Amino acid sequence: MQVSMRRQGAEGPEIWLRGPVTDRVEPALWPEPARDEPAHLAVGPRRFAWVATHGGAGTTTLAAVFGGHDAGRNWPRPDLGEPGSVLLVGRTHAAGLDAVSHTLETFRRGEAPPGLDLEAVVLVADAPGRLPRPLAQRVKVIDSMIDVYQVPWIPAWRVGDLASAPPRETAALARLTGATRLP
């Protein structure tokens, strides 16, 4: 049985421990930190591969705006130095959502190449405005399986203007990818 219990240490304030109730805390559970280890590790931004689930999904534009590797419709090759963290990309029209669902099923069945980690799905708007109800319902189903990031219709991107900062609706995606130009 797990119980939260309070312990008062002679050296400091009271703390709460969660776990099995015992008479004492084993010191071996919390070994002394080595004196020659660095206080913290330097970690760079995470690298992602944008993988299109169908032609015209938008991986090239997303890689240009948010950074990362544009894998197109190919699986990334971590053995060749390409990122193993995958962001699946599809448009929000019916065929695009079908392609995303099919690729998710490939991962679910374990048929994706080894060494790849599916991080999220990125859905790029296929037209301005709200999604029709049947498409919005399909997005909800996908979102129930994996994190979904939606990119709105951006007229400037349509004509190739990728210089401005992404819209604020993409802030969560920018944080995920470590993009330097946050909305």
Over the stretch 48-86, which tens digit does the pLDDT of each residue have?
999 999 999 999 999 999 999 999 999 999 999 999 999
Q: Pick 141 or 23 by higher pLDDT.
A: 141
* pLDDT tens, position by position, 72-124: 999 999 999 999 999 999 999 999 999 999 999 999 999 999 999 999 999 99
Which string of DSSP letters, residue by residue, matches the chain? -EEEEEE--TTS--EEEEEE--SS--GGGSPPPPTTS-SS----PPP-EEEESSTTS-HHHHHHHH-SEEEETSPP-GGGT---EEEEEEESSHHHHHHHHHHHHHHHTT-SPTT-EEEEEEEE-SSSSPPPHHHHHHHHHHHTTS-EEEE---HHHHTT---SPPPGGGHHHHHHHT-SS--
CB 77 within 8 A of CB 108: no
pTM beyond 0.95, yes or no = no
Q: What's the mean pLDDT when you consider all of the chain?
A: 83
User: Rounded to 10 degrees, what is the CA torsion of 68, 72, 73, 75?
Assistant: -40
Q: Name, in order, each residue with C-beta under 8 angstroms of 158's C-beta and a sequence gap of 6 or more.
A: none
pLDDT band with cut points at 50, 70 and 90 for residue 44:
low
- By percentage, how much of the chain surpasses pLDDT 70? 73
State residue 166's pLDDT score.
87
Closest CA to 154 of 166, 163, 144, 146: 166
